[in-house]
Amino acid sequence: MTKDDPRRGIPRTDHLLALPGVCEARARLGERAIRDIIHAAQGRARHGELPPDQVEQAVVNALQARPTSTLHPVLNATGVVVHTNLGRAPLSREAVQALVVAGGYVDVELDLATGARSKRGVAARAALLAACPAAQDALVVNNGAAALVLATTALSAGREVIVSRGELVEIGAGFRLPDLIASTGARLREVGTTNRTHLRDYAEAIGPDTGCILKVHPSNFRVQGFTSAVSVQALRPLADEHALPIVADVGSGLLRADPMLPDEPDVTTALDDGADVVTASGDKLLGGPQAGIALGRHETIARMSSHPLARAVRADKLALAALEATLIGAMPPVVQSLHADPDRLAARAHHLAAAVGAQVVPHEGRVGGGGAPGLPLPGWAVQLPETAAAALRCGTPAVLPRVHDGVCLVDLRCVAEEEDERLLAAVRAALGDGVR
């Protein structure tokens, strides 16, 4: 480096670390994050991308803009209620507050009255049983797949799990049900065909190595036409004859039948029909945090709870707190979105459209998350030019619309009404000079 090289003017690290703006940033950022930003600014200056006399301000600006999490809040304007790419169910206010409380020291495994250790997740279990009286006992683990894996492991490790070929589904992200169950040490005994399975198929497959009978709701798709399946209710007498437990995975976490979702299986019906244990996800139609829920008979839940795998898949205090709050608090956002008033949705859409000179068109939302595949949720959307989609996604707040048939559609079903003004501002910014 020559004597007159401008890079000699790049501020030293110790000088930058002592800047008032950097010292203020230490109240919310760790030392490693601060040094990374400083080194990045110095590197830009060394490569001629930033004048040396602007390094100090660049560091301060970068520290002020640096969030502690890179996750961005997003307004879901797709009309898909349980949107997997957006983290599935948004939490209720009560659940969010419960997370804040649980972030500190809490009595998750402590009886404050006696000072003795208590059982983990007692309150969440009680809330589940109150919400689903058909169950005798409950267990919460870290996600829906873990609940199913724990059930088949506890009941059938080293033995056979009988399941219909039409229910061997891929549950997302490339994970397939046969692979998950095989990882537990159980062996799959497939019966029937992809489109038709009969009671006799199950009966002929039962033998001395049978551990349980598994029923799986085939989320995300529907098989129509020449089809046949065997219900839990029809399987119960056969299972009783051979003293076998029935595991039913309903996936979406619907606790009770909902007239809005007439073909969606629910936990209560599966238990009433004779399932020994029903597994489901907590962050879909239940509207809570990521969690795996198992509801069923005392003895079946006890076998799952006492299995060594239960420790590896147990839910943390945050999930337990948010799940309890979801169950006993006000109606969660997922349920509100599913049961949104069509007239109110139309009025909000027309208000937004009038403000930006757009038109309102009919739009069918979806349940999402594997729930009620193919079921339309009639509603409305504000139609914008397709070019607005990228600007909406990258704006503040970030808005995710639906792009379909060359247009950008903004559906307000999953946008809380108190967010309407922020949504309007985002749409105005995305349209720019195109606003009327």
Task: State whether CATH 3.10.20.30 applies to domain 74-83+336-434.
Answer: no
Task: Give the start-to-end residue ranges of the domains of the chain.
Answer: 6-65, 74-83+336-434, 91-330
Tell me: cis bond preceding 401? Omega within 30 of 0 counts: no
Write the burial class of residue 350 (CB in 10 Å: 0-12 exposed, 13-18 middle, 19+ buried). middle
Q: What architecture is domain 91-330?
A: 3-Layer(aba) Sandwich (3.40)
pLDDT per 10-residue tile (average), the chain, 436 residues: 78 96 95 97 95 95 93 97 96 98 96 94 97 98 94 94 88 73 85 92 96 86 77 97 97 93 94 98 97 98 96 97 98 97 96 97 94 91 97 96 97 98 97 66
Strand ranges (E), 149-276: 160-164, 170-172, 175-176, 187-191, 210-216, 246-251
Tokens 């998350």 label which residue?
369
Q: Distance between CA atoms of 237 and 7, rounded to whole angstroms?
A: 83
Q: What is the pLDDT of residue 219?
A: 67
Q: Distance between CA atoms of 192 and 21, rounded to whole angstroms?
A: 68
Q: Could you tell me which of 349, 425, 414, 390 has the C-alpha nearest to residue 76?
A: 414
Contact 84, 38 (CB under 8 A): no
Q: Could you tell me which of 251, 269, 271 has the C-alpha nearest to residue 367?
A: 251
Q: What is the pLDDT of residue 140?
A: 98
Contacts with 2 (C-beta within 8 Å, 6 or more apart), sequence order: none
Which amino acid type is present at position 376?
Answer: P
Q: Could you tell me which of 355, 348, 353, 356 has the C-alpha nearest to residue 432?
A: 356
Q: Residue 156's Cα: distance from chain center in Å?
A: 28
Q: Distance between CA atoms of 350 and 306, rounded to whole angstroms?
A: 56
Q: Could you tell me which of 147, 95, 145, 156 has the C-alpha nearest to residue 295?
A: 147
Global pTM?
A: 0.91
What is the number of helices (H) and of strands (E) in the chain? 18, 16
The backbone region for 406, taken as left when phi is positive above 0, alpha when psi lies in -120 to 50, beta otherwise, is left
Per-residue b or e along 401-431, where b marks 16 or more CB atoms closer than 10 Å to that residue's CB? bbbeeebbbbbbbbbeeebbeebeebbeebb
Contacts with 239 (C-beta within 8 Å, 6 or more apart), sequence order: 213, 245, 246, 274
Q: What is the pLDDT of residues 144-159, one digit of tens each?
A: 999 999 999 999 989 9
Q: What is the pLDDT of residue 186?
A: 86
3-state secondary structure of 141: strand
Q: What is the pLDDT of residues 22-57, one digit of tens each?
A: 999 999 999 999 999 999 999 999 999 999 999 999
Segment (H or E) for 305 = helix 298-306
